[in-house]
């Protein structure tokens, strides 16, 4: 594999972007991290083959100038406003950042660097409350949040630019994916942090909502590898990236607390005020196409993932001023 390929990665400082950047560097790429604050980001530069450049998702002419200058072989759009509890707070801004900005990016590629292969980090939220489970690339999209609607707009734009302009453009429909680099606001990190803190005597209890809520949870490093594989394919397409197996929050608690020698039932409370009913049809991905076309499959299973996260949280708590090697 040539060692001169260049990849442009937006969101390179996030969970997915950090794993992808490491993967690309291992494969000999020159990586350009696009950031709204490149000066602050430069402290995270990894090697001489990695550089930060300014990137404003609202500035299409600026995108065109950057793409014309860099001429990346591959472009990974991982920058987005995150899902979660805040995804209803600013719906217009959410749609601008996660939807319209992707249209600008595709147009900039068309005009300034049409040979660039592009992948959009989409989300299972585009399915909303699906009619069937598991979901595949052909499942009808019925988003029920501004976040899902914006991701659907981005997916539609990818398809339009692929069909009309013959760009190598693809969407990775990513199901929940976690890692030690996951932000503390997500339920996975709430669970693993609590297990670590309680085991060290730094906390006493954990309060959660519906313990029977289920998700298809995978490892972020595996999903970054899937996006890279998508841009190595012979033809562009959309791919569901998932494990194909669902687990409940209760199972997550069981694994996390057992890993530190505790019984979760002694420490976890259900908060009725935070209780949210489980979806009538579960969000569960069918990654058959990714396995068949890309040869992709996850390497890290659910139990290993949760135990990995607990170990990283324990390391942070035991050495708060040091680096555990787990942070992005």
DSSP line for 54-67: E--TT-HHHHHHHH
The rounded distance, in Å, linking the Cα atoms of 199 and 202 is 8
Q: Is 147 a catalytic residue?
A: yes
Cα 37 → chain centroid? 20
Which residue among the candidates 35, 64, 113, 125 is catalytic per the annotation?
A: 125
Q: What single-letter DSSP state applies at residue 242? A: -
First and final CA of the chain: distance in angstroms?
27
User: What ranges do the domains of the chain cover?
Assistant: 6-177+218-241, 182-215+246-280+301-318
- CA-CA distance, 256 to 72, in Å (whole number)? 41
Model confidence at 166: pLDDT above 70 = yes
**Choosing from 19, 29, 147, 175, which is the catalytic residue?**
147
Task: Find, among 4, 69, 1, the residue nearest to 30 by Cα.
Answer: 4
| pLDDT given at position 85 | 59
CB atoms within 10 A of CB 17: 25
Assigned CATH for 6-177+218-241 = 3.40.50.720
pLDDT tens track for 295-325? 999 999 999 999 999 999 999 999 988 654 4
Distance from C-alpha of 188 to C-alpha of 259, rounded to nearest angstrom: 14
At 29-50, the pLDDT tens digits run 999 999 887 655 555 556 778 9
Mark 62-91 as b/e (b = at least 16 C-beta within 10 Å): ebbebbeebebbbbbbbbbbebeeebeeee
**Catalytic residue (one of 123, 171, 188, 246):** 123
- Please state, in angstroms and rounded to a whole number, the distance separating the CA atoms of residues 33 and 49: 11
Task: Give the integer Cα–Cα distance in Å for 130 and 104.
Answer: 29
What are residue 270's phi and psi, to 5 degrees?
-95, 125
Q: DSSP character for 277?
A: P
Fold of 182-215+246-280+301-318: UDP-galactose 4-epimerase; domain 1 (3.90.25)
Q: Please give the Cα distance from 7 to 183 (Å, whole number).
A: 25
Q: Does residue 83 have an active-site annotation?
A: no
User: What is the H or E stretch that residue 221 is in?
Assistant: helix 220-230
pLDDT over 50 at 2, yes or no: no
pLDDT digits (tens, 9 = 90+) for 75-105: 999 998 876 656 777 889 889 999 999 999 9
* pTM of this prediction exceeds 0.75: yes
**Residue 64 bears catalytic tag:** no
Q: Mean pLDDT over all residues of the chain?
A: 92
């Amino acid at each position: 594999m040539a060692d001169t390929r260049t990849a442009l990665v937006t969101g390179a400082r996030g969970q997915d972007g950090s794993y992808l950047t490491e993967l690309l560097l291992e494969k000999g790429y020159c990586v350009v991290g696009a950031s709204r604050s490149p000066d602050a980001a430069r402290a995270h530069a990894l090697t001489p083959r990695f550089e930060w450049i300014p990137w404003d998702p609202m500035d299409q002419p600026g995108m065109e100038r950057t793409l014309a200058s860099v001429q990346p072989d591959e472009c990974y759009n991982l920058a987005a406003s995150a899902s979660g509890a805040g995804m209803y707070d600013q719906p217009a801004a959410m749609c601008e950042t996660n939807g319209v900005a992707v249209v600008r990016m595709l147009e900039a590629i068309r005009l300034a660097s049409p040979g660039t292969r592009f992948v959009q980090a989409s989300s299972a939220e585009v399915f909303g409350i699906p009619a069937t489970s598991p979901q595949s690339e052909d499942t009808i999209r019925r988003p029920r949040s501004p976040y899902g609607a914006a991701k659907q707009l981005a997916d539609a734009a990818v398809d339009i630019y692929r069909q009309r302009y013959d760009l190598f453009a693809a969407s990775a429909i990513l199901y929940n994916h976690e890692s030690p680099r996951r932000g503390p606001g997500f339920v996975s990190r709430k669970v693993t942090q609590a297990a670590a803190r309680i085991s060290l005597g730094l906390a006493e209890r954990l309060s959660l909502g519906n313990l029977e809520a289920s998700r298809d949870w995978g490892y972020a490093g595996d999903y970054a590898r899937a996006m890279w594989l998508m841009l190595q394919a012979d033809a562009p397409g959309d791919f569901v990236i998932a494990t194909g197996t669902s687990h409940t929050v209760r199972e997550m608690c069981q694994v996390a607390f057992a890993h530190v020698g505790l019984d979760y039932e002694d420490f976890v409370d259900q908060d009725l005020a935070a209780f949210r009913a489980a979806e009538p049809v579960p969000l569960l991905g069918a990654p058959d196409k990714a396995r068949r076309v890309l040869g992709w499959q996850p390497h890290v299973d659910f139990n290993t993932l949760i135990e990995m996260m607990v170990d990283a949280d324990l390391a942070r708590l035991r050495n708060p001023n040091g680096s555990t090697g787990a942070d992005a």
